[in-house]
Amino acid sequence: MADKIVISGTGLWLPEYTLTNEELVACYNEYVDVYNNTNAKEIQSGALSAKAYSSVEFIEKASGIKRRYIYQKKGILDLERMRPEIPKRNNDEISDQAEMAIHAAKDAMIKANKSAEDIDAVIVSCAYTQRSYPAIAIEVQAALGIEGFGFDMLVACSAGTFALQRGYEMVKAGTAKCVLMINPELTSPQVNFRDRDSHFIFGDVSMATIIESADTCTSNCSFEILSTKAFTKYSNNIRSNFGYVLNANDTKPLDDDQYFSQNGRTVYKEVCPMAAQHISAHLDELNLKNDQIKRWWLHQANINMNKLICRLLLNRDPSAEEAPIVLDEFANTASAGSLIAFHRYSDDFQPGEYGLICSFGAGYSIGSLIVRKL
């Protein structure tokens, strides 16, 4: 049984395309004009409601998002389509999501100074997987030449922290010596680009994290995982209905209720205090005080949520250094967000300093890890 369990390396892969708020708003507002003109009689009679325009100012104020990376930009700004055009691959070709995962995995392996022979478990954990089986993780495992086993996990925006907890537990128990955890977040196909309240929220990216025993760690930078904590409470306020039963339901995949949807105001009111309470309870378990935490790597969904959670914890606004924001560049990358923040903003830690990684989202689900620089 391993004594100390560490995060020994992280890797990040970015798609080649970016999509700005300005581009999204221009396309969306053009769609609004067409919709309102086409349905003018029904709108006038009250049978339908007119669609409202979006704006760059609205998006930034509501979310803090300025742009996002996109796996395939083609099709999204096409008024006749307004969804990404991702060519279908043959069964003997590597899947889109596995390819994304492999890029990030190789980066993390370099950072952790690990080869395929050193790793014996692969977890692909994200908001969506592009197919049910075979598991994306097993495809990645084969492509990287890793012996052992792999499996997929789906826990929406908490998929990253929940999978890190699984990896921590496996290394702790001795069922795996080194775990590669990957979040290939291909979220853009589930965005309704015709919906004013959600067309700007998500971006595509891939993150990878390596967990192992401190005894086998040879990387230049590692963080000991001191504790993990997970919590779920069922809620319909964040939902995605798309799934394999659609065909049996006689439901069309492009119907509005098959895309991501949320009751944003309710989520804000319910999740923020829930996340703050979860974090406080987690710190209490280790007898740690808030002022002992150098950095809060929080889920990157909405800047206003992150600020409120930090105010509830610190009784003041956090500094940019204390609670770094990456969603202005990446948008909401589901389970990858808090780990991108960790990846980007952990190099300045000195041995013995503490940090906290936390995700929160659909489910509701909340996951956290308390780490210390070695």
CB of 154 closer than 8 Å to CB of 190: no
CB of 341 closer than 8 Å to CB of 205: no
Between CA 281 and CA 359 the distance in angstroms is: 15
Residues 6+ apart with CB under 8 A from 86: 71, 72, 96, 189
Distances (CA, A) of 94 to 70, 101, 258, 364: 19, 11, 26, 33
The type of residue at 362 is A
Between CA 109 and CA 117 the distance in angstroms is: 11
Other beta carbons within 10 angstroms of residue 69's beta carbon come to 22
Indicate which residue of 27, 126, 157, 358 is catalytic.
157
Rounded to 5°, angle at Cα 304 from 302 and 310:
105
27 is catalytic: no
Tokens of 134: 């075979």
Residue the block writes with tokens 């492999």: 102
Beta strands at 121-126 and 178-185: parallel, antiparallel or unpaired: parallel
Q: What is the DSSP string of 312-332?
A: HHHSSPPPTTTS---HHHH-B
Point out the residues that are catalytic.
Answer: 157
